[in-house]
Structure 1
Amino acid sequence: MTRRGTTASGRAKRLRTCVGCRRRAEPTGLIRLHRGGDGTVGFGAGPGRGAWLCGPPATGACLETAIRRRALERALRHPIPTTEIEALRARLGQ
């Protein structure tokens, strides 16, 4: 029997939480956003503060929820200008 949050080998599972819907999942099913040193928001495993969003098809809904709740700004510990939000929407294909 395994403890909650571990695999059969006893190693801890790597779970991350979507900032939009708060669903916990392994990183392979999520998209990572990060804030670079210049304040811009990028995708992938870049340096800086990170946040996670659900992968497709729920990405758009989770992004909108995170923006509405200001959860993305809290996770990245930085205000996100409207122009940056529009760029995120465009890159995610909304």
Structure 2
Amino acid sequence: MPFFAIIKDIKILNEVKKMNEEQLIQRIQYQSQLQVTELQEVLNKLNGLSTLLNKAMKNGVVVNKQAYNEFADKYNDLVRSVDGDLQRAKIKQAKNMDLLKKD
């Protein structure tokens, strides 16, 4: 782990130690929501890219079939990966909410 990442982690740890329970709960909720939102935005941008490419091809843009197939494979892998990360983040967010409600 790089030195600056360690320093950042120590600063975050010190901030967390100073928080009361309500502040900590709010931080957990915020971080969970932020992660879900960011992943959803990435997925939306990827879907927009796919739509844009399909429209271009329908409007007569010539695409090398082999290059397109390679792109499509990598694109689909990326979408699956981001979607998997998004689903895990949503599950984590739901678990955090359940844990926080029990307290």
Q: Same fold (TM over 0.5)?
A: no
Kindly indicate whether structure 1 or structure 2 has the higher relative contact order, using CA contacts under 8 Å at least 6 residues apart.
2
Of structures 1 and 2, the larger Rg is shown by 2
* Greater per-residue strand proportion: 1
Q: With structure 2 as the length reference, what TM-score do the two structures score?
A: 0.28
